[in-house]
Homo-oligomer: A and B are copies of this chain.
Amino acid sequence: MEIYQGKKKQLYLEKNSIAHLFSFPVEEFMEVREYQRDDWIIQEGMRPAFLFYVLEGKAKIYITHQNGKVSLINFINENEYIGEMELLHDVYYTKGIQALTKTVCIALPMHYYRTKLLEDTKFLRELTRFLSVKATLMAAKYSQLLAFPLENRLADFILQTADEGVYKEKHVVACDYLGISYRHFMHVLTQFCNKGYLQKEGRTYLIKQFNSLDALAEMLKNK
Protein backbone atom coordinates (compact mmCIF):
# COMPACT_ATOMS: atom_id res chain seq x y z
CA MET A 1 0.00 0.00 0.00
CA GLU A 2 1.30 3.43 -0.93
CA ILE A 3 0.31 6.77 0.59
CA TYR A 4 0.59 9.61 -1.90
CA GLN A 5 2.66 12.48 -0.53
CA GLY A 6 3.27 16.11 -1.43
CA LYS A 7 3.16 16.89 -5.13
CA LYS A 8 1.78 13.45 -6.09
CA LYS A 9 -1.12 13.80 -3.67
CA GLN A 10 -1.80 17.34 -4.82
CA LEU A 11 -1.76 16.43 -8.49
CA TYR A 12 -4.02 13.45 -7.94
CA LEU A 13 -6.58 15.52 -6.09
CA GLU A 14 -6.58 18.13 -8.82
CA LYS A 15 -7.46 15.49 -11.37
CA ASN A 16 -9.98 13.74 -9.12
CA SER A 17 -12.05 16.37 -7.40
CA ILE A 18 -13.80 15.47 -4.18
CA ALA A 19 -15.37 18.89 -3.76
CA HIS A 20 -18.86 17.51 -4.27
CA LEU A 21 -18.58 15.15 -1.29
CA PHE A 22 -18.13 17.49 1.67
CA SER A 23 -19.08 21.04 2.48
CA PHE A 24 -16.09 21.59 4.75
CA PRO A 25 -12.35 21.23 4.13
CA VAL A 26 -11.01 17.74 4.75
CA GLU A 27 -7.60 17.96 3.09
CA GLU A 28 -5.57 18.53 6.23
CA PHE A 29 -5.74 15.02 7.70
CA MET A 30 -6.87 13.24 4.57
CA GLU A 31 -4.69 10.64 2.93
CA VAL A 32 -4.70 9.36 -0.64
CA ARG A 33 -3.87 5.65 -0.68
CA GLU A 34 -3.15 3.20 -3.43
CA TYR A 35 -3.64 -0.55 -2.96
CA GLN A 36 -2.51 -3.29 -5.30
CA ARG A 37 -4.59 -6.23 -6.47
CA ASP A 38 -5.19 -8.72 -3.61
CA ASP A 39 -4.12 -6.21 -0.92
CA TRP A 40 -6.45 -6.16 2.06
CA ILE A 41 -7.85 -2.65 2.46
CA ILE A 42 -9.58 -3.71 5.66
CA GLN A 43 -9.01 -6.98 7.49
CA GLU A 44 -12.01 -8.90 8.71
CA GLY A 45 -12.79 -8.22 12.35
CA MET A 46 -10.36 -5.27 12.58
CA ARG A 47 -12.16 -1.98 13.05
CA PRO A 48 -10.79 0.53 10.52
CA ALA A 49 -9.58 3.93 11.69
CA PHE A 50 -10.50 5.58 8.39
CA LEU A 51 -13.52 6.27 6.28
CA PHE A 52 -12.56 5.43 2.70
CA TYR A 53 -14.00 6.71 -0.54
CA VAL A 54 -12.95 4.81 -3.65
CA LEU A 55 -11.83 7.05 -6.51
CA GLU A 56 -10.41 4.35 -8.75
CA GLY A 57 -10.53 0.56 -8.86
CA LYS A 58 -12.64 -2.28 -7.60
CA ALA A 59 -12.75 -4.41 -4.46
CA LYS A 60 -14.51 -7.38 -2.86
CA ILE A 61 -16.32 -7.68 0.49
CA TYR A 62 -15.72 -10.99 2.28
CA ILE A 63 -17.06 -12.54 5.42
CA THR A 64 -15.96 -15.77 7.11
CA HIS A 65 -18.61 -17.86 8.82
CA GLN A 66 -18.39 -20.07 11.87
CA ASN A 67 -18.73 -23.18 9.72
CA GLY A 68 -15.61 -22.21 7.79
CA LYS A 69 -17.39 -21.10 4.64
CA VAL A 70 -16.28 -17.83 3.11
CA SER A 71 -18.86 -15.62 1.38
CA LEU A 72 -18.09 -13.01 -1.21
CA ILE A 73 -20.93 -10.65 -0.31
CA ASN A 74 -20.51 -7.97 -2.93
CA PHE A 75 -18.22 -5.87 -5.06
CA ILE A 76 -17.23 -2.29 -4.32
CA ASN A 77 -16.75 0.08 -7.24
CA GLU A 78 -15.59 3.62 -7.86
CA ASN A 79 -17.42 6.38 -6.00
CA GLU A 80 -18.41 4.15 -3.13
CA TYR A 81 -17.61 4.30 0.56
CA ILE A 82 -15.76 1.79 2.71
CA GLY A 83 -15.97 1.87 6.49
CA GLU A 84 -19.17 3.92 6.61
CA MET A 85 -20.77 1.34 8.90
CA GLU A 86 -18.03 1.81 11.46
CA LEU A 87 -18.47 5.57 11.16
CA LEU A 88 -22.14 5.25 12.03
CA HIS A 89 -22.07 2.42 14.57
CA ASP A 90 -19.95 1.81 17.63
CA VAL A 91 -20.65 -1.89 17.55
CA TYR A 92 -20.23 -3.54 14.17
CA TYR A 93 -18.64 -6.70 12.85
CA THR A 94 -16.12 -5.46 10.26
CA LYS A 95 -15.98 -7.39 7.02
CA GLY A 96 -12.83 -7.96 5.02
CA ILE A 97 -12.23 -5.77 1.96
CA GLN A 98 -9.79 -6.95 -0.68
CA ALA A 99 -8.67 -5.01 -3.75
CA LEU A 100 -9.55 -6.68 -7.02
CA THR A 101 -7.59 -4.23 -9.17
CA LYS A 102 -5.28 -1.37 -8.35
CA THR A 103 -7.45 0.77 -6.08
CA VAL A 104 -6.99 4.41 -5.13
CA CYS A 105 -9.06 5.91 -2.35
CA ILE A 106 -9.11 8.82 0.01
CA ALA A 107 -8.93 7.97 3.68
CA LEU A 108 -10.35 10.24 6.37
CA PRO A 109 -9.32 9.54 9.98
CA MET A 110 -12.63 8.96 11.72
CA HIS A 111 -11.72 10.38 15.08
CA TYR A 112 -10.92 13.74 13.50
CA TYR A 113 -13.89 14.01 11.21
CA ARG A 114 -16.66 11.82 12.61
CA THR A 115 -18.66 14.55 14.33
CA LYS A 116 -18.28 17.01 11.51
CA LEU A 117 -19.29 14.46 8.89
CA LEU A 118 -22.45 13.57 10.74
CA GLU A 119 -23.49 17.22 10.70
CA ASP A 120 -22.72 17.81 7.05
CA THR A 121 -25.86 17.75 4.89
CA LYS A 122 -23.89 17.35 1.69
CA PHE A 123 -22.08 14.30 3.00
CA LEU A 124 -25.19 12.85 4.61
CA ARG A 125 -27.24 13.15 1.46
CA GLU A 126 -24.52 11.40 -0.56
CA LEU A 127 -24.14 8.69 2.05
CA THR A 128 -27.90 8.24 2.29
CA ARG A 129 -28.11 7.66 -1.43
CA PHE A 130 -25.23 5.24 -1.32
CA LEU A 131 -26.73 3.28 1.56
CA SER A 132 -30.16 3.17 -0.03
CA VAL A 133 -28.67 1.69 -3.19
CA LYS A 134 -26.69 -0.77 -1.11
CA ALA A 135 -29.71 -1.83 0.93
CA THR A 136 -31.82 -2.21 -2.21
CA LEU A 137 -29.16 -4.23 -3.94
CA MET A 138 -28.66 -6.55 -0.99
CA ALA A 139 -32.41 -7.04 -0.66
CA ALA A 140 -32.63 -7.87 -4.35
CA LYS A 141 -29.77 -10.34 -4.14
CA TYR A 142 -31.24 -11.87 -1.02
CA SER A 143 -34.65 -12.45 -2.54
CA GLN A 144 -33.12 -13.77 -5.76
CA LEU A 145 -31.12 -16.23 -3.73
CA LEU A 146 -34.31 -17.29 -1.96
CA ALA A 147 -36.27 -17.72 -5.15
CA PHE A 148 -33.98 -18.98 -7.92
CA PRO A 149 -31.77 -21.99 -8.49
CA LEU A 150 -28.09 -21.79 -9.30
CA GLU A 151 -28.65 -21.91 -13.04
CA ASN A 152 -30.18 -18.43 -13.14
CA ARG A 153 -27.72 -16.87 -10.75
CA LEU A 154 -24.73 -18.35 -12.54
CA ALA A 155 -25.96 -17.04 -15.87
CA ASP A 156 -26.28 -13.60 -14.32
CA PHE A 157 -22.81 -13.82 -12.80
CA ILE A 158 -21.25 -14.87 -16.09
CA LEU A 159 -22.85 -12.02 -18.01
CA GLN A 160 -21.99 -9.49 -15.33
CA THR A 161 -18.34 -10.39 -15.16
CA ALA A 162 -17.68 -11.37 -18.78
CA ASP A 163 -15.47 -9.07 -20.81
CA GLU A 164 -16.07 -8.87 -24.55
CA GLY A 165 -17.83 -12.18 -24.68
CA VAL A 166 -15.24 -14.01 -22.59
CA TYR A 167 -15.82 -15.32 -19.08
CA LYS A 168 -12.62 -15.68 -17.08
CA GLU A 169 -13.35 -15.41 -13.38
CA LYS A 170 -11.54 -17.74 -11.04
CA HIS A 171 -13.76 -20.68 -10.18
CA VAL A 172 -12.89 -20.29 -6.53
CA VAL A 173 -14.13 -16.71 -6.46
CA ALA A 174 -17.30 -17.67 -8.31
CA CYS A 175 -18.03 -20.39 -5.73
CA ASP A 176 -17.63 -17.96 -2.83
CA TYR A 177 -19.92 -15.55 -4.60
CA LEU A 178 -22.59 -18.09 -5.49
CA GLY A 179 -22.33 -19.92 -2.19
CA ILE A 180 -21.93 -23.38 -3.69
CA SER A 181 -19.38 -26.15 -3.60
CA TYR A 182 -16.59 -26.24 -6.13
CA ARG A 183 -17.75 -29.64 -7.28
CA HIS A 184 -21.24 -28.55 -8.06
CA PHE A 185 -20.06 -25.37 -9.71
CA MET A 186 -17.95 -27.38 -12.15
CA HIS A 187 -20.90 -29.61 -12.81
CA VAL A 188 -23.23 -26.77 -13.80
CA LEU A 189 -20.52 -24.97 -15.77
CA THR A 190 -19.92 -28.15 -17.75
CA GLN A 191 -23.66 -28.37 -18.40
CA PHE A 192 -23.60 -24.84 -19.81
CA CYS A 193 -20.84 -26.00 -22.15
CA ASN A 194 -22.73 -29.15 -23.13
CA LYS A 195 -25.83 -27.11 -23.89
CA GLY A 196 -23.72 -24.88 -26.10
CA TYR A 197 -24.11 -21.71 -24.02
CA LEU A 198 -20.36 -21.59 -23.40
CA GLN A 199 -17.29 -23.00 -25.09
CA LYS A 200 -14.24 -23.83 -23.06
CA GLU A 201 -11.04 -22.32 -24.44
CA GLY A 202 -8.07 -23.22 -22.28
CA ARG A 203 -8.88 -21.66 -18.92
CA THR A 204 -11.50 -19.26 -20.16
CA TYR A 205 -14.99 -19.67 -21.54
CA LEU A 206 -16.42 -18.04 -24.66
CA ILE A 207 -20.07 -17.01 -24.58
CA LYS A 208 -21.64 -18.77 -27.54
CA GLN A 209 -25.34 -18.26 -26.85
CA PHE A 210 -25.77 -14.87 -25.25
CA ASN A 211 -29.54 -15.08 -25.59
CA SER A 212 -29.86 -18.32 -23.67
CA LEU A 213 -27.80 -16.97 -20.79
CA ASP A 214 -29.57 -13.65 -20.89
CA ALA A 215 -32.98 -15.32 -20.70
CA LEU A 216 -31.86 -17.14 -17.56
CA ALA A 217 -30.43 -13.97 -16.04
CA GLU A 218 -33.46 -11.83 -16.93
CA MET A 219 -35.65 -14.11 -14.83
CA LEU A 220 -34.01 -12.60 -11.74
CA LYS A 221 -35.11 -9.06 -12.52
CA ASN A 222 -38.37 -7.48 -11.49
CA LYS A 223 -40.29 -5.84 -14.27
A3 within 8 A of B: no
Residues of B within 8 A of A132 (CB): 84-85, 88-89, 131
Known contacts A141-B142, A142-B73: does B85 contact A136 (CB below 8 Å)? yes
Binds B, one of A103-111, A118-126, A155-163: A118-126
Complex copy number for this chain: 2
Known contacts A88-B132, A135-B131: does B143 contact A67 (CB below 8 Å)? no
Q: Which of B71, B88, B146, B220 contacts A129 (CB 8 A)?
A: B88
A223 within 8 A of B: yes
As a 0/1 sequence over residues 144 to 181 of chain A, the CB contacts with chain B under 8 angstroms (1 = contact) are 11111000000000000000000000000000001100
Q: Which of B66, B143, B148 contacts A63 (CB 8 A)?
A: B143
Shortest beta-carbon contacts, A-B, top 4: A146-B179, A138-B138, A131-B131, A135-B135
Chain A residues packing against B (C-beta within 8 Å): 61, 63, 65-67, 69, 71, 73-74, 84-85, 88-89, 92-93, 95, 118-119, 121, 124-125, 127-129, 131-132, 134-136, 138-139, 141-148, 178-179, 218-223
A-B contacts, 22 of them at CB < 8 A, read: A63-B143, A63-B222, A65-B143, A65-B147, A65-B220, A66-B220, A66-B223, A71-B146, A73-B142, A85-B135, A85-B136, A88-B132, A89-B132, A95-B139, A118-B125, A121-B124, A128-B131, A131-B131, A131-B135, A142-B142, A146-B178, A146-B179
